[in-house]
Homo-oligomer: A and B are copies of this chain.
Amino acid sequence: MSIAPNFSIVTLGVANVSRSAEFYRALGWEQVRSESDGITWFRTSGTWLGLYGYDLLAQDAAVEPVAQSALPAYRGITLAINLPTEADVDAAFEVAAAAGAPIIKAAHRAEWGGYSGYFTDPDGNLWELCFNPGFPIDAAGRIDIPKG
């Protein structure tokens, strides 16, 4: 007995779907279906990114939609984008900043040998931009994590 590991969609509950869609478009990401439907999706090399109303997403999951302003900056989860070189990470931070993203932690060399920093989207979701020399990236933009 197992669950097929079809990790298909990460959905972000956002205060304003149009504003968030504009932000992810400004990163250069491909939007599929308009946000006029109330929900919209962005294609990635891995799991799709969904954008949906903050309260509506809570309602869908049948949990209490605490006020978004009550959410701490750290929500116990981070989203990562791996890029092939340190220069790519630097260039990506320029794109994120131009899109209006707060840079939470500037890129720096990490003790594990990589190069990494964080920005947030308009709702405070933490995105890491990362170069990890140990995780090769294929032509489709997917990483491999080799067995140790």
Contact surface of A with B, Cβ cutoff 8 Å? 1-14, 27-30, 32-34, 37, 41-50, 54, 57-58, 60-66, 68, 70-83, 88, 91-92, 94-96, 98, 104-105, 116, 118, 123, 125-126, 128-130, 135, 137, 141-143, 145-148
Q: Which residues of B contact A96 (CB under 8 A)?
A: 3
Cα distance, A28 to B61, chains bound together (Å):
24
Q: Which residues of B contact A33 (CB under 8 A)?
A: 145, 147-148
Cα distance, A70 to B72, chains bound together (Å):
9
**Contact present for A98 and B1 (CB under 8 Å):** yes
Copies of this protein in the complex: 2
Q: Which residues of B contact A78 (CB under 8 A)?
A: 10-11, 13, 57, 60-61
Closest residue of B by beta carbon distance from A43: B5
Q: Which residues of B contact A64 (CB under 8 A)?
A: 72-74
Q: Which residues of B contact A146 (CB under 8 A)?
A: 32
